[in-house]
């Protein structure tokens, strides 16, 4: 099997997307949710910070943040597991404990950590889905925030509580907030995938609507040209 192709379950989802895409209005595959900004968003004097988040297939997560103003790098990878040097083939078994994740490096003078989380909860994924996103199932597709330091932990924890209290979603948020483990970059063929394969049925149906929702929901934080791993 071509290593750039997803497992059978994702291939079946893509095939279904091909059959139905022409009948589905633009953006219908992904619904964005209007949510308030975090009440707690600690200012930073740093020139650069990182955030690690997991919200389903990392192709779409990476794409959204690559189009976010202030983000200087968004790298797809694996986090939260126990195996050393995990590969995509290992992680997709669900036995390594890793989640598909994205390490976002950003300039806090242009976009705050709280704003990164607001985009994550609003347009990147559905935080009420347990161990799944869209057609993908398994712990490797769980919703998680891996925090770096006490400040990020406080902001993330407070924001989850704030959104749950406000009943922004019809169901409780299942996102786990935990200290950042080691992050393992994914294989090169997974990087910049949405940009390199816009005609891929999975990307067109599940991921490009996320980018469109970023532009619609957060127009002042959207940039047309993504910051790519390949350009670094």
CB 77 within 8 A of CB 58: yes
Tokens of 105: 């490096």
Distance CA 138, CA 121 (A): 20
Beta bridge partners of 74: 104
- To which H or E segment does residue 58 belong? helix 58-66
Distances 23 to 9, 20, 77, 198, 205 between C-alpha atoms, Å: 22, 6, 33, 18, 11
Out of 17, 32, 35, 57, which one is annotated catalytic?
57
Catalytic residue list contains 194: no
User: Which residue's structure tokens are 């919703």?
Assistant: 143
Beta bridge partners of 146: 52, 178
Neighbours of 148 (CB within 10 A): 14
* Beta-sheet strands, E only, within 94-159: 99-106, 132-133, 136-137, 143-147
Q: Give the catalytic positions in this structure.
A: 57
């Amino acid at each position: 099997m071509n290593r750039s192709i997803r497992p059978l379950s994702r291939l079946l989802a893509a095939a279904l997307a091909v059959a139905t895409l022409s009948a589905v209005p633009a953006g219908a595959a992904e619904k964005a949710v209007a949510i308030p900004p975090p009440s707690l968003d600690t200012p930073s004097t740093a020139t650069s910070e990182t955030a690690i988040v997991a919200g389903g297939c990392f192709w779409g997560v990476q794409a959204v943040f690559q189009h976010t103003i202030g983000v200087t790098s968004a790298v797809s990878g694996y986090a939260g597991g126990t195996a050393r040097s995990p590969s995509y083939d290992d992680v997709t078994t669900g036995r390594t404990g890793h989640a598909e994740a994205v390490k976002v490096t950003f300039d806090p003078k242009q976009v705050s950590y709280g704003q990164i989380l607001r985009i994550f909860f609003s347009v990147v994924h559905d935080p009420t889905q347990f161990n799944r996103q869209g057609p993908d199932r398994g712990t490797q597709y769980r919703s998680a925030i891996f925090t770096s330091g006490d400040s990020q932990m406080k902001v993330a924890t407070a924001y989850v509580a704030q959104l749950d209290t406000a009943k922004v979603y019809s169901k409780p948020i299942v996102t786990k907030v935990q200290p950042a483990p080691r992050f393992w970059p994914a294989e090169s063929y997974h990087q910049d995938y949405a940009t390199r394969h816009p005609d891929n049925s999975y990307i067109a149906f599940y991921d490009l609507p996320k980018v469109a929702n970023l532009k619609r929901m957060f127009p002042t934080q959207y940039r047309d040209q993504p910051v790519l791993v390949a350009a670094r």
